[in-house]
Structure 1
Amino acid sequence: MKKIIRLVITGGIIGSFIGFNIAIFCSLFFKTAYFVPSSLYFVLGHSPFAVLISELLWILIGVVFAAANRVFSIEKWSITRQTITHFLITYILFTPIAVACGWFPLNFHYLFWFTVEFIAIYIIIWFGCMIKTKYKINKLNETLKQNK
């Protein structure tokens, strides 16, 4: 139970931090006259309620990705099975949150392009993580060879 609580808190804090900073960046980048906590379609009259709902959605996104990462700690699974399971969990749980955030309307055209973007970003992040992991493994192997 402690692990689940820690996972929810950690994921929520990270999701909130990333979401808030993206919102600040987008508000500055698009030179809005006011802070836009989520998509322009989602902002409800610039109210604190919009910020609260955005915050809860950011927290939920963080929890989804933190929980999905637990798949990679299942040692008896192959990396392929872990990756496919992680992809499916994140895609299935993240997509409705993205719709709730107002990032795209729920129709086939937008869902198709969201899926293409999600897959592309997932592959880029996956390759980055694999390169980082291979680097760590090589570094560890060098250290082990030197200690023999």
Structure 2
Amino acid sequence: MMKFFKGLLSSMSIGITVGLLISIFFSSLFQLKEIQPSSNEYMARFSSPIVALTVAIVIWAFMGAVFYLASFIFMTDRFSITRKTVYHFLLTYCGYTGLAIAAGWFPYTPLWLVFYTVIFVLIYLVMWYLFMKSARHLVAEVNKATLG
């Protein structure tokens, strides 16, 4: 149980770090005088920049948690790899999309949602392909070592 919480905290920390680095990058890119965790529309929702940043940090932590928790789908033996992949995709897409909208990363309009979905699916497919290729290589190495 302690290993679970350490992994969760680590993933949340990674989410916060990535979110902070992205906000620094875009704040620099747009030559802002102060760091801004998201768009002007996002910032306008809050009474002060510190409140906006605090909420953003919580959202980034939840993003890290979504991906950590989704990884447990692949640890069950009850489902086929196809079913695991579909469940993993749905959990990460729904969880991350909701958090990305809350973080103000894109406007909540049908056109942006379609654009975002296409990008998410393409990235997911590339990562899936790379993981499957790696797994096939690992299985081949194990079979080669076992069978001689």
In 2, distance between residues paired with 1:77 and 1:107? 35
2:128 and 2:26 map into 1 onto residues whose CA distance is 25
Q: Where does structure 2 lack aligned partners over 5 or more consecutive residues?
A: none
CA–CA separation in structure 2 for the residues paired with 1:30 and 1:139 = 48
Query: Which residue does 1:100 correspond to in 2?
Result: 102
CA drift at 1:20: 1.5
CA distance in structure 1 between the partners assigned to 2:138 and 2:38 by the alignment: 37
Residue 26 (structure 1) shift: 2.4
How many residues get paired? 146
Q: Distance in 2 between matches of 1:22 and 1:55?
A: 12
**CA distance in structure 1 between the partners assigned to 2:133 and 2:31 by the alignment:** 36
- What are the residue-to-residue correspondences of 1:40-59 with 2, within 5 Å? 40-44=40-44, 47-59=49-61
What letter matches 1:16 in structure 2?
Answer: I
Alignment-mate amino acid for residue 6 of structure 1: K
CA deviation map 1:68-95 (0-9, x unaligned): 1110101231111110000111112222
Equivalent residue runs for 1:3-22 within 5 Å: 4-22=4-22
Q: CA RMSD in A?
A: 2.2
The verdict on how the C-alpha distance between 1:128 and 1:30 changes in structure 2, with shifts beyond 3 A counting, is farther
What's the TM-score, normalizing by structure 1? 0.83
Q: Deviations over 1:32-78 (max 9, x none)?
A: 33212223432358722221111111000010111011101012311
Tell me by how many angstroms 1:121 deviates: 1.4
Identical columns (%)? 32
